[in-house]
Amino acid sequence: MVKVSLIQSQPILGEAEQNIQNLIPLLAQTEDSALIVLPELANSGYNFTSRNQAMKLSESIEDSRFIEFLHQHARASGCHIVAGMNERERDLLYNTAVLVGPDGIIGRYRKLHLFMNEKDIFEPGNRGLPVFDVGQMTVGIQICFDYLFPETWRILGLKGADLICHPSNLVTPYGQKVVPMHSVVNGVYVITANRTGADGDLKFSGGSIITGTRGEVLARASENKPEVITIEIDPQKSRNKMITEKNHALNDRRPDQYLDILES
Ligand code: ACM
Protein backbone atom coordinates (compact mmCIF):
# COMPACT_ATOMS: atom_id res chain seq x y z
CA MET A 1 0.00 0.00 0.00
CA VAL A 2 1.18 3.54 -0.77
CA LYS A 3 0.03 6.73 0.92
CA VAL A 4 -0.94 9.50 -1.50
CA SER A 5 -2.32 13.00 -0.92
CA LEU A 6 -4.14 15.62 -2.90
CA ILE A 7 -3.90 19.28 -2.01
CA GLN A 8 -6.86 21.40 -3.05
CA SER A 9 -5.48 24.93 -2.78
CA GLN A 10 -6.54 28.42 -3.80
CA PRO A 11 -3.69 30.17 -5.65
CA ILE A 12 -3.91 33.95 -5.88
CA LEU A 13 -3.19 35.49 -9.29
CA GLY A 14 0.22 37.18 -9.26
CA GLU A 15 1.05 36.40 -5.61
CA ALA A 16 3.85 33.90 -6.10
CA GLU A 17 5.34 34.23 -2.61
CA GLN A 18 1.95 34.20 -0.89
CA ASN A 19 1.00 31.10 -2.86
CA ILE A 20 4.09 29.36 -1.50
CA GLN A 21 3.37 30.50 2.08
CA ASN A 22 -0.22 29.26 1.78
CA LEU A 23 1.03 25.81 0.78
CA ILE A 24 3.17 25.37 3.92
CA PRO A 25 0.33 24.43 6.33
CA LEU A 26 -1.29 22.27 3.64
CA LEU A 27 1.92 20.34 2.94
CA ALA A 28 2.32 19.87 6.69
CA GLN A 29 -0.98 17.96 6.72
CA THR A 30 0.18 15.38 4.17
CA GLU A 31 2.01 13.52 6.98
CA ASP A 32 4.19 10.78 5.51
CA SER A 33 2.59 10.57 2.06
CA ALA A 34 4.77 9.11 -0.67
CA LEU A 35 3.19 11.28 -3.39
CA ILE A 36 1.41 14.63 -3.25
CA VAL A 37 -0.53 16.22 -6.13
CA LEU A 38 -1.16 19.99 -6.32
CA PRO A 39 -3.44 21.93 -8.72
CA GLU A 40 -2.64 23.38 -12.15
CA LEU A 41 -0.68 26.69 -12.22
CA ALA A 42 -0.17 26.50 -8.47
CA ASN A 43 2.65 29.06 -8.52
CA SER A 44 1.01 31.87 -10.48
CA GLY A 45 -2.80 31.64 -10.51
CA TYR A 46 -4.77 31.02 -13.69
CA ASN A 47 -6.77 33.80 -15.26
CA PHE A 48 -4.09 36.10 -16.71
CA THR A 49 -5.31 39.39 -18.15
CA SER A 50 -2.65 39.28 -20.89
CA ARG A 51 0.25 37.19 -22.17
CA ASN A 52 2.51 39.92 -20.87
CA GLN A 53 1.19 39.42 -17.35
CA ALA A 54 1.59 35.64 -17.68
CA MET A 55 5.18 36.16 -18.84
CA LYS A 56 5.95 38.29 -15.76
CA LEU A 57 4.48 35.59 -13.49
CA SER A 58 6.33 32.69 -15.15
CA GLU A 59 9.45 30.86 -13.99
CA SER A 60 12.04 28.80 -15.80
CA ILE A 61 12.45 25.26 -14.51
CA GLU A 62 16.14 25.81 -13.81
CA ASP A 63 15.60 28.95 -11.75
CA SER A 64 12.30 28.63 -9.92
CA ARG A 65 11.66 29.62 -6.33
CA PHE A 66 8.50 27.47 -6.49
CA ILE A 67 10.40 24.34 -7.51
CA GLU A 68 13.09 25.02 -4.93
CA PHE A 69 10.33 25.23 -2.29
CA LEU A 70 8.79 21.93 -3.45
CA HIS A 71 12.22 20.31 -3.52
CA GLN A 72 12.92 21.39 0.08
CA HIS A 73 9.73 19.66 1.19
CA ALA A 74 10.40 16.54 -0.92
CA ARG A 75 13.95 16.28 0.46
CA ALA A 76 12.86 16.75 4.08
CA SER A 77 10.00 14.25 3.91
CA GLY A 78 11.29 11.79 1.28
CA CYS A 79 8.18 12.24 -0.89
CA HIS A 80 7.42 13.05 -4.53
CA ILE A 81 5.31 16.05 -5.55
CA VAL A 82 3.44 16.78 -8.80
CA ALA A 83 2.55 20.45 -9.16
CA GLY A 84 1.26 22.67 -11.93
CA MET A 85 3.32 25.74 -12.82
CA ASN A 86 3.55 28.54 -15.36
CA GLU A 87 6.78 27.58 -17.12
CA ARG A 88 8.92 29.91 -19.24
CA GLU A 89 11.43 28.60 -21.75
CA ARG A 90 13.22 31.46 -23.50
CA ASP A 91 10.28 33.65 -24.66
CA LEU A 92 7.72 30.82 -24.72
CA LEU A 93 5.27 29.83 -21.99
CA TYR A 94 3.95 26.36 -21.16
CA ASN A 95 1.22 25.19 -18.82
CA THR A 96 3.40 22.57 -17.15
CA ALA A 97 3.31 20.07 -14.31
CA VAL A 98 6.62 19.15 -12.71
CA LEU A 99 7.48 16.02 -10.78
CA VAL A 100 9.90 16.74 -7.97
CA GLY A 101 11.49 14.13 -5.70
CA PRO A 102 13.99 14.11 -2.85
CA ASP A 103 16.85 14.57 -5.32
CA GLY A 104 15.21 17.36 -7.34
CA ILE A 105 13.29 17.56 -10.61
CA ILE A 106 12.49 14.15 -12.11
CA GLY A 107 10.45 15.26 -15.10
CA ARG A 108 7.75 17.46 -16.48
CA TYR A 109 4.62 17.31 -18.59
CA ARG A 110 3.41 20.22 -20.75
CA LYS A 111 -0.36 20.47 -21.22
CA LEU A 112 -1.36 19.24 -24.68
CA HIS A 113 -4.93 20.53 -24.86
CA LEU A 114 -5.20 24.22 -24.04
CA PHE A 115 -8.52 25.57 -22.73
CA MET A 116 -10.08 28.89 -23.82
CA ASN A 117 -7.74 31.88 -23.34
CA GLU A 118 -4.82 29.61 -22.55
CA LYS A 119 -4.51 29.41 -26.34
CA ASP A 120 -3.50 33.10 -26.40
CA ILE A 121 -0.85 32.60 -23.73
CA PHE A 122 0.75 29.16 -23.76
CA GLU A 123 2.32 26.98 -26.40
CA PRO A 124 0.66 23.57 -26.71
CA GLY A 125 2.71 20.85 -25.03
CA ASN A 126 5.53 19.34 -27.08
CA ARG A 127 6.90 16.60 -24.85
CA GLY A 128 4.30 13.86 -25.25
CA LEU A 129 2.93 11.91 -22.30
CA PRO A 130 5.81 10.49 -20.27
CA VAL A 131 5.45 8.17 -17.29
CA PHE A 132 7.79 8.16 -14.31
CA ASP A 133 8.98 5.54 -11.84
CA VAL A 134 8.63 6.95 -8.32
CA GLY A 135 9.69 3.85 -6.44
CA GLN A 136 6.58 1.94 -5.40
CA MET A 137 4.61 2.91 -8.50
CA THR A 138 4.63 4.38 -12.00
CA VAL A 139 2.87 7.72 -12.46
CA GLY A 140 1.66 9.62 -15.50
CA ILE A 141 0.58 13.25 -15.62
CA GLN A 142 -2.03 15.21 -17.52
CA ILE A 143 -3.47 18.64 -16.82
CA CYS A 144 -7.10 19.70 -16.40
CA PHE A 145 -8.81 20.01 -19.83
CA ASP A 146 -6.76 17.08 -21.13
CA TYR A 147 -9.48 15.05 -19.38
CA LEU A 148 -11.77 15.56 -22.38
CA PHE A 149 -9.47 13.59 -24.67
CA PRO A 150 -9.61 9.81 -24.07
CA GLU A 151 -6.33 9.41 -25.94
CA THR A 152 -4.26 10.95 -23.12
CA TRP A 153 -5.68 8.58 -20.50
CA ARG A 154 -5.25 5.57 -22.78
CA ILE A 155 -1.65 6.36 -23.67
CA LEU A 156 -0.72 6.73 -20.00
CA GLY A 157 -2.56 3.48 -19.22
CA LEU A 158 -0.75 1.66 -22.02
CA LYS A 159 2.58 3.03 -20.81
CA GLY A 160 2.01 1.37 -17.45
CA ALA A 161 0.87 4.22 -15.22
CA ASP A 162 -0.51 2.89 -11.94
CA LEU A 163 -1.70 6.38 -11.04
CA ILE A 164 -2.53 9.35 -13.25
CA CYS A 165 -1.86 12.67 -11.53
CA HIS A 166 -4.24 15.34 -12.82
CA PRO A 167 -3.47 18.86 -11.57
CA SER A 168 -6.51 20.96 -12.46
CA ASN A 169 -8.18 24.35 -12.43
CA LEU A 170 -11.62 23.04 -13.41
CA VAL A 171 -14.34 25.61 -13.92
CA THR A 172 -17.14 23.24 -14.90
CA PRO A 173 -18.57 20.65 -12.48
CA TYR A 174 -18.49 17.82 -15.05
CA GLY A 175 -14.75 17.28 -15.36
CA GLN A 176 -14.84 15.41 -12.06
CA LYS A 177 -17.64 13.20 -13.43
CA VAL A 178 -15.54 12.02 -16.35
CA VAL A 179 -12.56 10.96 -14.23
CA PRO A 180 -14.01 7.75 -12.65
CA MET A 181 -14.86 6.45 -16.12
CA HIS A 182 -11.27 6.79 -17.28
CA SER A 183 -10.11 5.02 -14.12
CA VAL A 184 -12.30 2.01 -15.00
CA VAL A 185 -11.50 1.97 -18.70
CA ASN A 186 -7.75 1.96 -18.08
CA GLY A 187 -7.67 0.22 -14.68
CA VAL A 188 -5.72 3.06 -13.04
CA TYR A 189 -5.95 5.26 -9.99
CA VAL A 190 -6.46 9.00 -10.64
CA ILE A 191 -5.86 12.00 -8.42
CA THR A 192 -7.59 15.12 -9.72
CA ALA A 193 -6.25 17.98 -7.58
CA ASN A 194 -8.48 20.92 -8.37
CA ARG A 195 -8.48 24.44 -6.94
CA THR A 196 -11.15 26.57 -5.30
CA GLY A 197 -11.90 30.29 -5.28
CA ALA A 198 -12.14 32.72 -8.17
CA ASP A 199 -9.76 34.53 -10.51
CA GLY A 200 -11.48 37.54 -12.09
CA ASP A 201 -14.66 36.27 -13.72
CA LEU A 202 -13.73 32.58 -13.41
CA LYS A 203 -14.91 30.51 -10.46
CA PHE A 204 -13.25 27.15 -9.86
CA SER A 205 -15.25 24.12 -8.89
CA GLY A 206 -13.13 22.39 -6.19
CA GLY A 207 -14.45 18.87 -5.59
CA SER A 208 -11.04 17.25 -6.07
CA ILE A 209 -11.25 13.46 -6.21
CA ILE A 210 -9.24 10.29 -5.94
CA THR A 211 -10.64 7.38 -7.93
CA GLY A 212 -9.87 3.68 -7.81
CA THR A 213 -9.29 1.16 -10.57
CA ARG A 214 -12.97 0.23 -10.78
CA GLY A 215 -14.09 3.85 -10.89
CA GLU A 216 -14.86 4.09 -7.17
CA VAL A 217 -14.63 7.62 -5.78
CA LEU A 218 -12.29 6.87 -2.89
CA ALA A 219 -12.21 10.47 -1.64
CA ARG A 220 -13.80 13.78 -2.56
CA ALA A 221 -12.97 17.29 -1.33
CA SER A 222 -15.44 20.12 -0.71
CA GLU A 223 -16.37 22.58 -3.44
CA ASN A 224 -15.16 25.73 -1.80
CA LYS A 225 -12.26 25.46 0.60
CA PRO A 226 -8.59 24.51 0.61
CA GLU A 227 -8.22 20.95 1.82
CA VAL A 228 -5.83 18.02 2.09
CA ILE A 229 -6.91 14.42 1.58
CA THR A 230 -4.62 11.46 2.24
CA ILE A 231 -5.47 7.82 1.50
CA GLU A 232 -3.67 4.56 0.87
CA ILE A 233 -3.77 2.97 -2.57
CA ASP A 234 -2.61 -0.45 -3.79
CA PRO A 235 -0.60 -0.25 -7.04
CA GLN A 236 -1.00 -4.03 -7.46
CA LYS A 237 -4.66 -3.37 -8.28
CA SER A 238 -3.74 -1.21 -11.27
CA ARG A 239 -1.38 -3.92 -12.52
CA ASN A 240 -4.19 -6.44 -12.71
CA LYS A 241 -6.10 -5.48 -15.87
CA MET A 242 -8.35 -8.56 -15.94
CA ILE A 243 -12.01 -7.48 -16.15
CA THR A 244 -13.34 -11.06 -16.22
CA GLU A 245 -11.33 -14.25 -16.33
CA LYS A 246 -11.39 -13.93 -20.13
CA ASN A 247 -11.15 -10.15 -20.59
CA HIS A 248 -8.13 -7.90 -20.26
CA ALA A 249 -8.79 -4.15 -20.28
CA LEU A 250 -5.84 -3.37 -22.54
CA ASN A 251 -5.00 -6.60 -24.39
CA ASP A 252 -8.56 -7.05 -25.67
CA ARG A 253 -8.30 -3.86 -27.71
CA ARG A 254 -8.53 -4.20 -31.51
CA PRO A 255 -6.08 -1.59 -32.84
CA ASP A 256 -6.18 -3.19 -36.31
CA GLN A 257 -9.86 -2.17 -36.49
CA TYR A 258 -9.31 1.33 -35.11
CA LEU A 259 -7.33 2.75 -38.02
CA ASP A 260 -10.08 5.31 -38.81
CA ILE A 261 -8.79 7.29 -35.84
CA LEU A 262 -5.59 7.96 -37.77
CA GLU A 263 -7.53 9.37 -40.75
CA SER A 264 -9.73 11.85 -38.90
C1 ACM B 1 -8.73 24.04 -17.63
O2 ACM B 1 -8.18 23.32 -18.46
N3 ACM B 1 -8.05 24.72 -16.75
C4 ACM B 1 -10.20 24.14 -17.61
d(CA 201, CA 8): 20
pLDDT at residue number 120: 97
Q: What is the mean pLDDT of residues 134-150?
A: 97
Answering whether pTM is above 0.75, one says yes
Distance of CA 89 to the CA centre of its chain: 20
pLDDT above 80 for 264: no
Domain span holding position 130? 2-263
pLDDT at residue number 139: 98
Give 35-100 as a DSSP string: EEE--TTTTT-S--SSHHHHHHT-BBTTB-HHHHHHHHHHHHHT-EEEEEEEEEETTEEEEEEEEE
Instruction: Count the domains in the chain.
Output: 1
Backbone phi, then psi, for 174, in 5-degree steps? -100, -10
Catalytic residue among 40, 59, 87, 227: 40
Three-class SS of 158-171: HCCCCEEEEECCCC
Does the active-site annotation cover 40? yes
Average pLDDT taken over every residue of the chain = 96
- 40 alpha carbon – ligand 1 mean position (Å): 8
Atom of ligand 1 nearest to the CA of 113: 2
pLDDT at residue number 31: 84
Q: Which of these ranges, 63-72, 83-92, 103-112, 168-177, has the smallest mean pLDDT?
A: 168-177
Could you report the per-residue pLDDT of 114-138, keeping only the tens digit for each? 999 999 999 999 999 999 999 999 9
Could you report the per-residue pLDDT of 41-64, keeping only the tens digit for each? 999 999 999 999 999 999 999 999
Backbone phi, then psi, for 248, in 5-degree steps? -115, 130
The residue among 235, 200, 225 whose CA lies nearest residue 7 is 225
Does the active-site annotation cover 245? no
pLDDT at residue number 165: 98
Mutate to test the pocket of ligand 1, among 170, 176, 202, 203 (most ligand atoms within 8 A of CB): 170
The CATH number assigned to the domain holding 116 equals 3.60.110.10
